Amino acid sequence: MTRTKRACGAAAALALAVLALSGCGDSADARGSGAAYEQAYANHEPLHVVGYPSTGSLRLTQELVWHIADGKTDDLRSLATGDSDDSQSTKTARNWVKGFEDGAQGKVTADFYDGGSERQVVVLYFHDTKQVKEFSMRLDGDAGEDGWKVLMKETDFKDATRKPAWAPKAPGGTGSKSSRH
């Protein structure tokens, strides 16, 4: 190996070490550190995915399912859009935990509809309980990819746990909700 190649390899290794030690390699964000996210990921059943989520909408959906599975209503409520007032988001979080906690602890498939650039509709299929849940999310403000939030205005338990009439019986149905309506 030439001296130049060894020097480039050493420089690359040094750069990676600096990134790791500085925390830049640990994708920390406003919702928690990368290590906390990785631990939550390891503690839960993998989320099965259909459709085309963005990185942010996928992460938000994973966190939503984990908070439901763990019964963490306050953490779930923290994922609400700015136009969901505290009363609405609190009641919705309680309804979702009460209605879907058992299902969220098992196999869950998230079916992402439409493009995930600013808004996205997601249908969750809870395989163990045979429940189906639709929710909407969007970028909330100018926060970029980490600014994804969930619309949480389902204060009535029956409304919050009602199966969407339009959703396919199984994940991977016939395409975007908006193209069918």
For residues 48 and 41, give the distance between their C-alpha atoms in angstroms, rounded to a whole number: 13
| Same domain for 83 and 25 | no
Q: What does DSSP assign to residue 46?
A: P
- Whole-number CA gyration radius for the chain: 19
- 108-113/47-51 β-pairing: parallel
For residues 56 and 150, give the distance between their C-alpha atoms in angstroms, rounded to a whole number: 12
| Same domain for 57 and 145 | yes
Residue 177, domain member (yes or no): no
The predicted structure's pLDDT at residue 1: 52
| Same domain for 90 and 25 | no
| Same domain for 20 and 106 | no
For the chain, the distance separating the N- and C-terminal CA atoms, rounded to the nearest angstrom, is 63
For residues 23 and 35, give the distance between their C-alpha atoms in angstroms, rounded to a whole number: 11
| Same domain for 57 and 81 | yes
| Same domain for 51 and 3 | no
Phi and psi (nearest 5°) for 12? -65, -45
CATH assignment at residue 72: 3.10.450
| Same domain for 26 and 48 | no
| Same domain for 80 and 16 | no
Residue 108, domain member (yes or no): yes
Phi and psi (nearest 5°) for 7? -65, -40
Residue 47, domain member (yes or no): yes
Residue 115: Cβ within 10 Å count:
15
Q: Which amino acid is at 169?
A: K
Residue 178, domain member (yes or no): no
Residue 35, domain member (yes or no): no
Question: If 0-12 CB within 10 Å is exposed, 13-18 middle and 19+ buried, where does residue 148 land?
Answer: buried
Structural domain boundaries, residue 91? 41-172
Residue 111, domain member (yes or no): yes
| Same domain for 52 and 15 | no
- Asked if 105 contacts 45 with a C-beta cutoff of 8 angstroms, the reply is yes
Write out the H or E segment, with its range, that includes residue 10. Answer: helix 3-22
Domain count, the chain: 2
| 148's tokens | 């994804």
| Same domain for 51 and 24 | no
Give how far Cα 166 sits from Cα of 38, 79, 82, 134, Å: 34, 25, 27, 10
Per-residue pLDDT of the chain (181 residues; tens, 9 = 90+): 544 444 444 433 333 333 333 343 333 444 556 787 788 888 888 899 999 898 899 999 999 999 999 999 999 999 999 888 899 999 999 999 999 999 999 999 999 998 777 889 999 999 999 999 999 999 987 554 568 999 999 999 999 999 999 999 999 876 544 444 3
| Same domain for 144 and 102 | yes
Residue 145, domain member (yes or no): yes
The predicted structure's pLDDT at residue 72: 96
| Same domain for 79 and 100 | yes
